[in-house]
């Protein structure tokens, strides 16, 4: 939409966080418009489902090609709307395409009808299970990964046979519009993927619109509001919420690789990553050496406009959250080995490394969403695990250890852990992604991510009458006696 349009009550503008320049104007869709989009999506959903897995896969593959051809334009919109460096935007698109491909290729295997074994008491019935689409799925997405994150729901919901109404963040509506327009060029027949734009109220209207399911990705606080609204109609929800992920560095870790992960995981995307490293716990034997490496590396990273490795903080209001956490930590005895509040300039926050931060400081307990790290020394891995698990969040995490990586990972309460690498579990399309506790529930990606957007439907077909009629008022005493004997044999002999 033109950027020279006058803003009214029915439109909103998007400004580039680095320059303040207006980069888009979009409609604020009302509840009536949202309901209308959902109504047309219902009609489209029947047609889309009728294409079958193969017909949908062909179109999803073509959409993937369309996105690939337009990727540089899409990356530019991402950069303009939320400030991400272009090269990071390109990388994000690649990640999203991998998952889109996987969803299209695997939907039939995971969701298609299959026979299951009958039990002894149901031996005369053939049994099948399949996973049916809900019809229309509403997807509410955040701005920090405006392609990867919503497509993790959108691609899987479409592959499962649903039509989708997508509400992108008010900071990245242009990305959502671009994706839906690209889809519309491939699937012009019906509005299978629509985008509605606006503020939180537009998202709330989507929650109230009687869609079959809401796939929500965003903060834990908003997630609670979304759940409350969805409860009005008993609309099921997928909750991909915030995190406070940690990196654990054991005494035998590859320190150069771990330092690289700390800096990239903590600072890339200006720290605005749900799975980003926000806390680091380091074995005392290697603490000083590791710290020196991280500080030296982070000092080479600069936040700035254009081609800087780190872009601006997207949301104006987040600056006070980041500043508040850093100042609170410093006031409580922490030290900034790099960065700090004085290096915050407008929407730019320079990489900041804090040590000696009390464990109950907000810099350790709450999502920062800025390019900051708290680094703490631990006496052993038991202490590291205990500290990592001491938050309400449980999204992901990283463990660096040559010998005990698996054992440490097993003890962390989180939806996914990558050992000796950063977020590898989120990049592998076969693996589920999601959290526990304050980080939400349900999964995107992999077989679980497909099943998230479908309901299980069980069907049996009697092949021959049972000699033992059980579900009838004319059940005989003989039948009861046989069942009694059978149950004793089947279930009564285990001690």
List of residues contacting ligand NDP (CB under 6 A): 140-145, 149, 167, 169-171, 199-200, 203-204, 207, 217-219, 222, 225-226, 229, 240-243, 274, 367, 395, 435, 439
DSSP annotation of 310: B
User: Smallest gap, in angstroms, from Cβ of residue 3 to ligand NDP?
Assistant: 19
Residue 240 catalytic? yes
User: Smallest gap, in angstroms, from Cβ of residue 33 to ligand NDP?
Assistant: 15
Cβ–Cβ under 8 Å, residues 194 and 37: yes
Instruction: Compute the C-alpha angle 149/193/184, nearest 5°.
Output: 115
Element (H, E) at 215: strand 213-217
Residue 207 catalytic? no
User: Smallest gap, in angstroms, from Cβ of residue 470 to ligand NDP?
Assistant: 46
Q: Which is nearer to ligand NDP, 205 or 253 (CB)?
A: 205
All residues at 6 or more sequence positions from 397 whose CB lies less than 8 Å from its CB, including other chains: 245, 246, 247, 248, 388, 409, 412, 414, 416, 417, 418
Q: Which of 81, 170, 240, 366 is catalytic?
A: 240
All residues at 6 or more sequence positions from 490 whose CB lies less than 8 Å from its CB, including other chains: 120
Q: Which is nearer to ligand NDP, 171 or 281 (CB)?
A: 171
Task: Name the phi and psi angles at 63, rounded to 5.
Answer: -65, -40
Cβ neighbours around 265 below 10 Å, total: 25
Q: How would you classify the pairing of strands 418-419 and 279-283?
A: unpaired
Count of alpha carbons within 13 angstroms of residue 206, beta-carbon side: 32
Cα distance between residue 418 and residue 338, in whole Å:
27
116: β partners = 127
Q: Is the dihedral of CA 370, 376, 381, 384 positive or negative?
A: negative
* DSSP per-residue string spanning 66-89: HHHHTHHHHHHHHHHHH---HHHH
Cα distance between residue 364 and residue 361, in whole Å:
6
Cβ–Cβ under 8 Å, residues 405 and 77: no
Instruction: Compute the C-alpha angle 274/275/276, nearest 5°.
Output: 95
SS3 track for 133-196: ECCEEEEECCCCCCCHHHHHHHHHHHHCCCEEEEECCCCCHHHHHHHHHHHHHHCCCCCCEEEC
Q: Which of 170, 274, 367, 452 is catalytic?
A: 274
Element (H, E) at 461: strand 454-462
Q: Which is nearer to ligand NDP, 143 or 264 (CB)?
A: 143
User: Smallest gap, in angstroms, from Cβ of residue 105 to ligand NDP?
Assistant: 22
User: Smallest gap, in angstroms, from Cβ of residue 235 to ligand NDP?
Assistant: 12
Active site residues: 240, 274
């Amino acid at each position: 939409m033109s950027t020279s349009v006058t803003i009214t009550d029915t439109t909103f503008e998007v400004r580039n966080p680095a320059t303040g320049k207006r980069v888009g104007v979009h409609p604020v869709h009302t509840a009536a418009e949202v309901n209308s989009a959902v109504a047309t999506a219902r009609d489209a959903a029947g047609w889309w489902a009728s294409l079958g897995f193969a017909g949908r896969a062909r179109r999803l593959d073509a959409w993937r090609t369309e996105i690939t051809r337009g990727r540089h334009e899409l990356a530019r919109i991402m950069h303009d709307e939320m400030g991400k460096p272009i090269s990071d935007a390109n990388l994000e698109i690649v990640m999203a395409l991998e998952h889109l491909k996987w969803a299209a290729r695997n939907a039939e295997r995971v969701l298609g009808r299959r026979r299951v074994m009958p039990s002894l008491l149901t031996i005369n019935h053939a049994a099948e299970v399949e996973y049916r689409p809900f019809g229309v799925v509403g997807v509410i997405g955040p701005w920090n990964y405006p392609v990867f994150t919503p497509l993790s729901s959108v691609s899987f919901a479409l592959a499962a046979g649903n039509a989708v109404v997508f509400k992108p963040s008010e900071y990245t509506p242009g990305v959502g519009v671009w994706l839906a327009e690209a889809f519309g060029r491939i699937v012009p027949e019906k509005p299978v993927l629509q985008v509605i734009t606006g503020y939180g109220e537009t998202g709330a209207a989507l929650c109230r619109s009687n869609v079959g399911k809401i796939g929500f990705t965003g903060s834990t606080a908003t997630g609670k509001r979304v759940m409350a609204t969805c409860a009005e109609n008993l609309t099921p929800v997928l909750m991909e919420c915030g995190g406070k992920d940690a990196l654990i560095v054991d005494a035998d870790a590859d320190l150069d690789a771990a330092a690289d992960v700390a800096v990239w995981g903590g600072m890339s995307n200006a720290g605005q990553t749900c799975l980003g490293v926000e806390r680091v716990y380091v074995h005392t034997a290697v603490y000083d050496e590791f710290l020196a490496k991280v500080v030296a590396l982070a000092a080479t990273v600069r936040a700035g406009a254009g081609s800087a490795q780190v872009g601006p903080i997207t949301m104006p209001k987040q600056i006070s959250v980041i500043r508040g956490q850093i100042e609170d930590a410093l006031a409580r005895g922490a030290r900034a080995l790099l960065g700090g509040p004085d290096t915050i300039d407008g929407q730019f926050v320079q990489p900041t490394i804090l040590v000696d931060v009390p464990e109950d400081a907000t810099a350790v307990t709450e999502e920062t969403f800025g390019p900051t790290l708290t680094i703490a020394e631990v006496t052993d891995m038991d202490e590291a695990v205990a500290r990592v698990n001491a938050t309400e969040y449980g999204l992901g995490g990283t463990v660096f250890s040559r010998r005990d990586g698996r054992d440490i990972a097993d003890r962390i309460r989180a939806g996914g852990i990558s050992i000796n690498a950063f977020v590898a579990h989120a990049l592998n399309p076969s693996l589920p992604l999601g959290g526990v506790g304050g980080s939400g529930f349900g999964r995107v990606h992999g077989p679980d991510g497909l099943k998230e957007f479908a309901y299980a439907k069980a069907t049996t077909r009697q092949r021959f009458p049972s000699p033992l009629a059980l579900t009838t008022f004319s059940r005989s005493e003989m039948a009861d006696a046989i069942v009694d004997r059978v149950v004793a044999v089947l279930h009564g002999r285990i001690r």
